[in-house]
Amino acid sequence: MKTFTFHKPTELEEASKLLKNVGQGHLLAGGTDLVTEMKQGVIEPNLLISASDIKDMSGMVWNNSGLTIGSMVTLDEIASDADIGSRIKSLAEAATSIATPQIRNIATLGGNLCQRPRCWYYRNVRFNCLKKGGEKCFAVGGSDKYNAILGGSSCYIVHPSDSATALVALKAKVEIFRDLQRITIPIDDFFAGPEVDVTRENILEPGDILISVQIPKESMDGKSVYLKAKERQSMDFAIASVAVRVKMEKGLITEAGIAAGGVAPIPWHLSSAEGKLIGYCVEDIDVKAISSEVFADAKILGQNGYKLQLVQTYLERALNLVLR
């Protein structure tokens, strides 16, 4: 592993300046993904900036607007929080599904949202794929069992974050520190597919820092669920996942949020499925028809066709759970 300089700032301004002015600098949160990339030789940073002492990025705050979760809050803190478990069930389920207790005790929400893809071509130094500045996606015509069936265009990685899928369905927002200012944007706008920039998965520029995630109070109304399919039950990334949240009043669906994970380069917001729920009576909903229609644009590469049936099935199950 290449030697690097280590800094531990206490203020956002200092951390942002270091990230912006020093080439190949990386922000270190829990380090469960970043350190793995370093060990694999995928990245060789000359500077690591620890965010552990930046107070603006820690803690959880409940208020009349909802819940704000600092990006340095660990996944275990989210998974074990009683209020989140009772009021934002899908987020608690997503956090609990990630890795192992030991990893969840270190890994952070911000790190989980910003982690890099697990595609073995990206993670293998022998392949200079599009994601690393190369000329081709080796999954096309190669081993594509775990690659995307939606939104792939030129690059067919899948976004590995479980929490991201749940947060998209919850219509969350993220707060970013950029150019000495704090900006808040919908989480949908935080993620960027290969058609925007094939070398990254979000909109963070050098010097930008993800401060927190905000879940609006209205997203806590109703019922929510997160379902995840994985090969190993002990610890694994999603090969397909679904997050659903609905609010009903007198049998009428008034609000809905739906997202799929493990099937696209970004958490896939299923807005068309939401449109097939909002304004309709529960007894008129055909979940099988919805799950079939919303994935009509899926593109099968070769070995990943099973993902289509899997994500359709999980969407049906999730809808049945929240609508019954």
User: What is the distance between the alpha carbons of residues 8 and 298, in angstroms, rounded to a whole number?
Assistant: 44
Which range of residues forms the domain containing residue 271? Answer: 5-323
- What would the DSSP string read from start to end of 175-230? EEEETTEEEEEEHHHHB--TTT-TT-SB-PPTT-EEEEEEEEGGGGSSEEEEEEE-
Hunting for tokens 């094939």 — which residue is that? 198
Helices of type H across 55-172: 75-80, 82-87, 89-96, 101-104, 109-114, 120-123, 162-169
Q: How many domains does the chain have?
A: 1
In order along its 324 residues, the chain shows pLDDT tens digits of 889 999 999 999 999 999 998 778 999 999 999 999 999 999 999 999 999 999 999 999 999 999 999 999 999 999 999 999 999 999 999 999 999 999 999 999 999 999 999 999 999 999 999 999 999 999 999 999 999 999 998 999 999 999 999 999 999 999 999 999 999 999 999 999 999 999 999 999 999 999 999 999 999 999 999 999 999 887 899 999 999 999 999 999 999 999 999 999 999 999 999 999 999 999 999 999 999 999 999 999 999 999 999 999 999 999 999 998
Residues whose CB falls within 8 Å of the CB of residue 218, separated by 6 or more in sequence, listed in order? 66, 255
Instruction: Select from 263, 268, 266 the least CA-distant residue to 240.
Output: 263
Q: What is the pLDDT, as a whole number, of residue 278? A: 98
User: What is the distance between the alpha carbons of residues 130 and 68, in angstroms, rounded to a whole number?
Assistant: 35
Crossing angle of helices 89-96 and 162-169, in 10° steps, is: 170
How far CA 164 is from CA of 7, 29, 143, 188, 266, in Å, comes to 28, 17, 26, 9, 9
Helix (H) or strand (E) holding 257, with range, is strand 252-261
CB atoms within 10 A of CB 262: 28
pTM exceeds 0.95 for this model:
yes
Residue type, 144: D
**CA 128 and chain centroid, separation:** 25
User: Cα angle vertex 256, ends 255, 257, to 5°?
Assistant: 140
User: What is the distance between the alpha carbons of residues 114 and 110, in angstroms, rounded to a whole number?
Assistant: 6
Strand, coil or helix: 6: strand
Strand, coil or helix: 171: coil
User: What is the distance between the alpha carbons of residues 7 and 303, in angstroms, rounded to a whole number?
Assistant: 44
Instruction: Select from 320, 197, 207 the least CA-distant residue to 266.
Output: 197
Q: Which residues pair with 245 in a beta bridge?
A: 224, 257
CB atoms within 10 A of CB 28: 18
Q: Output the domain CATH number for residue 271.
A: 3.30.465.10
